[in-house]
Amino acid sequence: MSVGPTRLLNLLVILIIVALNAIGLLLVVRRFAGALSKDLPPGAMLLTAIVAMAMVACTRIAWRRYFPLTVDVEELELSASGRLGDLLVGYGSSLSLVLLAVGCIYPAERTVDLIIWLPALVADQFWRQSFFDAGHPDRGAGETGHDLENELVLASLAMVAGEKTFAPEGLERQLAAAVGESGEGETEEIVQQLYRVRDELGQEVIYGTLRADFLAGQRTAVVHAGFCPPLSHLPEIEAESFRGPLARIKVVQALAHGTRMDVRLTAPAASDCHVWIDMAAIPATSAEKIQA
């Protein structure tokens, strides 16, 4: 997406949140002043809560769709404007729900009003934290199976850029060896990094961070990852980009000894760039269990 439409979406999301807060504040002020003494019917109250939650969902999903919370070698820290935008979208949308709830149910004399709004407000607390932690509202922060993978990816990228990593001491030593840290504190540039673990069934799972490089004008790249020694099973390959230009990843081959993926940008690269890929090669039984 070009810079113009992205900035327009940025402004639109913020305007929606400001409008929701303004409406909620107006309702609260009018309620406290006694100007709005008539309660909404339960059906209208439920519809109001659903619409408010839907608008909050749309703003958070739209924001994370074009402003993902990820780590990049060239941009390890969020800019001041990006961090401010995240806080505004996260806490601003939650504040609008609180104001709308108070403005609709004050003085909270009907139990049905509390039944409608309280679950929504409680759920929003968890969802907001997921928005801050996971990079997208529909991805929970409790995916324990990927915790080590995420630590390894983030810490390795930090080490490539020469930044201090917060990885545990043992993991930090492992990363230093993996990226080839020299005695002068310089590091080689990571192109691929794979590591193997065993799941609860004793089967090997391979997690990896891969990089697809693009020259100016190039739109499609091919990425290969070899598994040595080969896995004892045909794996299910899961892959998604987590930093770089918007790209679609297609798994062309998934074999016991490796995988091949085609990476296609939404538009030809304007300049030399790369896309980071988060990959997992898991047994088919584990993939079916996760989907179930």
Report DSSP letters for 234-282, one per residue: PEEEEEEEEESS-EEEEEEEEETTEEEEEEEESS--SSSEEEEEEEEEE
Separation between Cα atoms, residue 83 and residue 163, nearest integer Å: 19
Q: Which position has the higher pLDDT, 228 or 9?
A: 228
Indicate if the pLDDT at residue 212 is higher than 90.
yes
Mean pLDDT (the chain) is: 76
pLDDT for residue 214: 93
pLDDT for residue 42: 87
Average pLDDT over residues 142-155: 47
Q: Which position has the higher pLDDT, 111 or 164?
A: 111
Q: 33 falls in which pLDDT band (50, 70, 90)?
A: confident
Q: Which position has the higher pLDDT, 53 or 187?
A: 53
Contact, 104 vs 45, CB < 8 A?
yes
Average pLDDT over residues 158-171: 44
> pLDDT digit string (tens) for 169-189?
444 455 455 444 444 444 457
pLDDT for residue 167: 39
Average pLDDT over residues 230-251: 89
Q: 77 falls in which pLDDT band (50, 70, 90)?
A: very low
Contact, 251 vs 277, CB < 8 A?
no
Indicate if the pLDDT at residue 143 is higher than 70.
no
Indicate if the pLDDT at residue 139 is higher than 80.
no
CA atoms lying within 13 Å on the CB side of residue 48: 24
Q: Which position has the higher pLDDT, 130 or 32?
A: 32
The amino acid that residue 42 corresponds to is P
The amino acid that residue 7 corresponds to is R
> pLDDT digit string (tens) for 80-109?
455 677 888 889 889 999 999 888 888 878
Closest CA to 40 of 118, 104, 96: 104
Q: 135 falls in which pLDDT band (50, 70, 90)?
A: very low
pTM, rounded to two decimals: 0.44
Least confident segment among 160-164, 172-176, 283-287: 160-164
Q: Helix, strand, or coil here: 204? A: strand
Indicate if the pLDDT at residue 43 is higher than 50.
yes
Indicate if the pLDDT at residue 224 is higher than 90.
yes
